[in-house]
Structure 1
Amino acid sequence: MIVMQYRFTLPADYDMTIIERRIAEHGAKLNGFPGLLFKAFLVARRDAAFSEENRYAPLYVWESAAAMTQFLQSPGFRRLTQDFGWPQIDTWLALRLPAVTEVKSAAWLSIARETIPAHSDLSALQLHAPLCGWDVSRWQLLQVDFVGAPQEGKENYRVAYVASEDMG
C-alpha cells in the first residue's frame, strides 16, 4: 500500500468556501475508484486552531503503484493541476493502516513527520498512530492520527469528506 499526499497552500485571504464547495460537488466522484482504499479530503483554515495557512491537502491510500498511476494520469488530476498548479507529491510505503470506518468517523486528521536517523534499528521504529508510513528515499516516518479535535504541535486538517473503494 502507498500513502500519497500533496498540499496546496492558498493565499491568506483566499475564500476557503471555494475549496469546500469543490469537495462537496466532486468528492464522491472518487468513490469506487479502482485501487483507492481511501482519499481524505483535507482542509486547513488560517483562522482555525493550530493552523497558520489556508491549505487543501488531500491524503490518499492506494493499493498499488498502478492504481496511483491511473489516478495521476486521469482527467480529474489534470484538471486539479490546471486549477491549482503542479504539486509536489509525497509518498510513503504504508507500515500501518486504519480501518476506513475510523477515517470516515474522524473530524480532524493530525500529521507528524519525523526524520529516521541514519543507522537506526528499523525493526524498532515506534509506530504510535493508526496510519504510519515511511519514505525510505528521505528517511522520513509519517504518523497520522484520526481525531475529534486538532492536536497541538502537529499539522492539522479538518476532514471535509472521505471517498473510498467500498463507497460505504
Structure 2
Amino acid sequence: MIIAHYAHRLPANHDIGLIRARARERGPLWDAVPELFFKGFLLREAGRHGAIANNYSSLYLWRHDEAFREFLVSGRYKVVTESFGRAEIQTRFALDARKGTGREARFAYREDLAIPLDADLTAIFAGEIELNRALASRPGTVAATIGVDTASWTLTRVLLSEQEPSGNEDGTSYEILHLARPLLDTLPQAGAL
C-alpha cells in the first residue's frame, strides 16, 4: 500500500467557498476508483483548528504502487496541475492500515516523526503497527494508517476521524471536505491481526 499526500498553499484572500465547491464537484468522481482505499479532499483554513494559512490538499491510500502509477500517467493528476501547479507528492510505504468503527470521517490528522539514526528499525516498526491498531480501535476512528519514508527515515501517522480537533492532537489537523472510499471497507478491522 502507498500513502500519497500533496498540498497547495492558498493566498490569504483565496475564496475558500471555491475550494469547498471543487471538493463537492470532484469528490464523487473518485468514489469508485479501482485500487483506491480512500482519497480525502482536505482543507486547512486560516484561523480554524490551529491553521495559520489556507491550504488545500489531497490524501490517498492506494492498494499498490501500480495504482499510484496509473494515477500519475493517466492524466488524473493533470487536473490538479492545471488548477494549482505541480506539488511535491509525498509518498510513504504503508506498514499498516486499519478500518475503525467510525462512520463519517470529518477530520484527518497527520503526524510525522523522525526515526532516530541508531533506532532498532524492527522494534520501531512493530511498535508503530501495534500503536496503529490501537488508534484504529479508538471511538470515532474511521481509518488509521502508519507509513514510512525510507529516504528520510520518517514515520507518518494518518488518522481519519469523526472527532473535531480539540487542540491537543499531535501533528496537523485537516477538515475533510469529501472522503472517497472505494475500498475502505476492505481494510482489516481495527481488532483484526
Contact 2:37 2:184 in 1 (8 A): no
Tell me if structure 2 keeps the 8 A contact 1:32–1:167.
no
Alignment pair present for 1:137 and 2:159? no
Task: Trace 1:79-118 onto structure 2 (pairs within 5 A).
Answer: 79-99=79-99, 102=102, 105-118=104-117
Corresponding pairs, count: 167
- What does 1:1-168 correspond to in 2, within 5 Å? 1-99=1-99, 102=102, 105-125=104-124, 126-127=127-128, 128-129=131-132, 130-147=144-161, 148-150=163-165, 151-152=167-168, 153-166=170-183
How much does 1:101 deviate?
Answer: 6.5
Kindly state the Cα deviation for residue 100 of structure 1 after the two structures are TM-superposed.
7.5
How far apart are the structure 1 equivalents of 2:31 and 2:172?
26
How much identity, in percent, do the aligned residues show?
Answer: 29
**Distance in 1 between the 2:24 and 2:100 partners?**
19
Segments of 5+ residues of structure 2 without an aligned counterpart are 133-143, 186-193
- C-alpha displacement at 1:166, in angstroms? 4.4
CA distance in 2, matches of 1:53, 1:43: 10
| RMSD of Structure 2 on Structure 1 (CA) | 1.9
Residues in 2 aligned to 1:159 and 1:9: alpha-carbon distance in whole angstroms: 16
Cα distance in 2 between the residues matched to 1:91 and 1:157: 18
Indicate the larger mover: 123-132 or 83-92: 123-132
Residue 82 (structure 1) shift: 1.1
Letter paired with 1:146: L
Match of 1:96, as an amino acid? D
**Structure 1 moving runs of 4+ over 6 Å:** none
More displaced 10-residue stretch of structure 1: 20-29 or 115-124: 115-124
Question: Which ranges of structure 1 fall in alignment gaps of 5 or more residues?
Answer: none
Secondary structure, counterpart of 1:124 in structure 2? helix
Tell me the TM-score normalised to structure 1 length: 0.91
Q: C-alpha distance in 2, partners of 1:10/1:75? A: 23
Secondary structure in structure 2 of the residue aligned to 1:76: coil
* Per-residue CA distance 1:39-64 (angstroms, 9 max, x = gap): 01111101212111111111100111
Cα distance in 2 for residues equivalent to 1:101 and 1:56: 27
Partners of 1:38 and 1:167 lie apart in 2 by 6
